[in-house]
Amino acid sequence: MKALVSARVSDSRSDNRKSKIKNRKWAGFFTVVVALTMCGARAEAQQPGKVFRIGYLDASTAMGTSVLLAAFRQELSKLGWIEGKNIAIEYRFAEQKNERLPELAANLVRLKVDLLVVAGAPPTVAAKEATNTIPIVMAFSGDPVAVDLVDSLARPGGNVTGLSALAAELNTKRLEILKDAVPRLARVGVLRLPTQLGARRGSPQMKELGSAALALKLQLEDIETHPETTSFESAFRIAQQKHVNAIMTTANRPFFAERKQIVNLAAKHRLPAIYPAKEFVDDGGLMSYGADYVHLYRHAAVYVDKILKGAKPAHLPVQQPSKFEFVINLKAAKQIGLSIPVRVLERANQVIK
């Protein structure tokens, strides 16, 4: 009996030893499999991921847009998109020649970019005509519904989304500020581009201004100009011949790009002026009221981030600016002998002394 018990105990120990050996073998096998899998995962992670290609289309110049593009790239970087690492940006500038936009847009489409970023209505129209599949993000635009770029602001419905700058609506506010700031203002010269010809009635911006001028009992002098040095000089000579008391520009990319030139001419001719963006005042202009374009470009980067991560433009509402700036430059006012009323200064977000 003892021998039988002893044999069973011996067999049991033998089985346990075999079981342990077998378990060790399986454990070793799984260790090898896991190790190989992890090595594979590490190798895969070390391989460079996809580099998304972004096309940027602008009607103006690289230099004139540099401050805005710097903000755009900075915001992309904050969101984890680094040029040369996981994104590449193809820049195309029409150099103030809108007729070049269709070919530049087509060129970007041929490069098979993953996304297009556009600045203003003409580049957006050119991009939309070049593709109805590649996502298009507007860094800013006028009224995208009015020119059939989107179905509605809330539901764009196609491949276009982004930001609307309320250009036409804000012109009315700028004209009101100009009247309050300039004593005995009666006649205002409006610098506009030939593309806005029709002009006083046809352009949305000129239409809004015409109605506002009537209400404010101001006379508008329509001054057509081109984004060239000689043309700007000619426009200011015409403004003097028409005896205007002040000037303003419509909101568009060419004027923004050539803002330094416009500001200098306004000072030379001692004409009070109000502009659509703070950058004009940064370059010595008298006053500005409008959307924060740096903020718009930063927000355009947020749209790019969402789309590159899988969002569809049709489902991303077009947003209107929520941040507006009224800036006054007292140095510029002193230079032209203008005393701005205190009530106007008190309304400004920033007064440069």
Chain segment 61-106, per-residue pLDDT in tens: 999 999 999 999 999 999 999 999 999 999 999 998 999 999 999 9
160/141: higher pLDDT = 160
Confidence of residue 228 (pLDDT cuts 50, 70, 90): confident
| Superfamily name with CATH number, domain 52-166+294-315 | Response regulator (3.40.50.2300)
Is the predicted pLDDT of residue 250 greater than 80, yes or no?
yes
Give me 193's structure tokens.
């581009």
Q: What are phi and psi of 304, to 5 degrees?
A: -60, -45
Provide the pLDDT for residue 303: 98
Q: How many CB atoms lie within 10 A of CB 186?
A: 13
Provide the pLDDT for residue 10: 46
In the chain, at which residue ranges do the beta strands (DSSP E only) sit? 52-58, 87-93, 115-119, 136-140, 160-162, 187-192, 219-224, 246-249, 273-275, 287-291, 324-329, 350-352
Confidence of residue 177 (pLDDT cuts 50, 70, 90): very high
Q: How many CB atoms lie within 10 A of CB 8?
A: 10
Provide the pLDDT for residue 48: 54
Is the predicted pLDDT of residue 225 greater than 80, yes or no?
yes
Confidence of residue 195 (pLDDT cuts 50, 70, 90): low
Provide the pLDDT for residue 28: 46
What residues form DSSP beta bridges with 248? 190, 274
Structural contact between residues 165 and 251, judged by C-beta atoms closer than 8 angstroms? yes
Give me 42's structure tokens.
């590490």
Provide the pLDDT for residue 33: 39
What residues form DSSP beta bridges with 118? 57, 138
252/133: higher pLDDT = 133
- Mean pLDDT of the region 191-205: 60
Is the predicted pLDDT of residue 282 greater than 70, yes or no?
yes
273/143: higher pLDDT = 273
pTM assigned to the model? 0.79
Q: How many CB atoms lie within 10 A of CB 177?
A: 20
- Mean pLDDT of the region 164-173: 82
Provide the pLDDT for residue 203: 65
| Overall fold of domain 167-291+324-352 | Rossmann fold (3.40.50)
d(CA 19, CA 14) in angstroms, rounded, equals: 9
What residues form DSSP beta bridges with 299? none
Residue type, 185: L
User: How is the beta sheet containing 287-291 ordered, strand by strand?
Assistant: 219-224, 187-192, 246-249, 273-275, 287-291, 324-329, 350-352
Domain with CATH 3.40.50.2300 in the chain: 52-166+294-315, 167-291+324-352
Q: What is the mean pLDDT of the chain?
A: 85
Provide the pLDDT for residue 204: 65
Return the SS3 of 116. strand
